Amino acid sequence: GVNMCMDEISSDGRLCWIPKTDDIAGLCHEHVSYLKSMKMGLSIEMAQAVAEAIQAKHVHVAQEILVIALGRNDQVDYDAKPILILIMCKQGNFLDAALIIEKVRQAYRMLPCREAQHGPILSISSDGEPKHHPALYLHCMVRKLVPSDSLFQHLSFLTGFNLWMGSHFETQDFNYKHLLKRDIFCFKLSSKSNLKPLGIAKHICFF
């Protein structure tokens, strides 16, 4: 099987013109459909339409790039290979994120050479983007493993393991550093006074 990995990287936050295709690039994927076309053409009408749409906040200049990659669970050729790159504005919600994930899942299943050759998507991973938490809940908290499932005998005895999975047995995974940052540091490590009962205040350097 394969792991589906998602992460975001910062972008320059500017528009550009691609002469080869005559496209205006740099607008967010979430709202670019508001514009009828992205072709510059021979006049400045399209450029004016883009500027007006940005000023009216109907569309936004992209602030980050979403990269989705697939990595095989194997001893060879296991490096993650990007399959989708989208420029985003951070104005979308978790439903937008869930829709993108679903499109990737369906596209992978509809290509027989992919799933038949490399196996199904077993895990959907995120770096910890807040919108991905509820999005992955929608995808990976669909059904609970039962004794008749082949995975049940391998996972049911693991104490504390989440037995809820996606419709095709996908599990969700988040970068533990982001989970610790939000769930522990924001609650327990906010000050030394909170750490004294835990006996670990002297081991942490506060800046």
pTM of the full structure: 0.75
Q: Please, are residues 1 and 122 in contact by the beta-carbon 8 Å criterion?
A: yes
- Burial of residue 53 (CB within 10 Å: 0-12, 13-18, 19+) is middle
Packing angle of the helix pair 132-140, 94-110 (nearest 10 deg):
50
Distance CA 160, CA 92 (A): 33
Pairing of strands 2-10, 16-18: unpaired
Check pLDDT > 60 for residue 34. yes
pLDDT one-digit tens code per residue, 52-88: 999 999 999 998 999 999 988 888 888 888 999 999 8
pLDDT one-digit tens code per residue, 171-193: 888 766 655 555 555 555 544 45
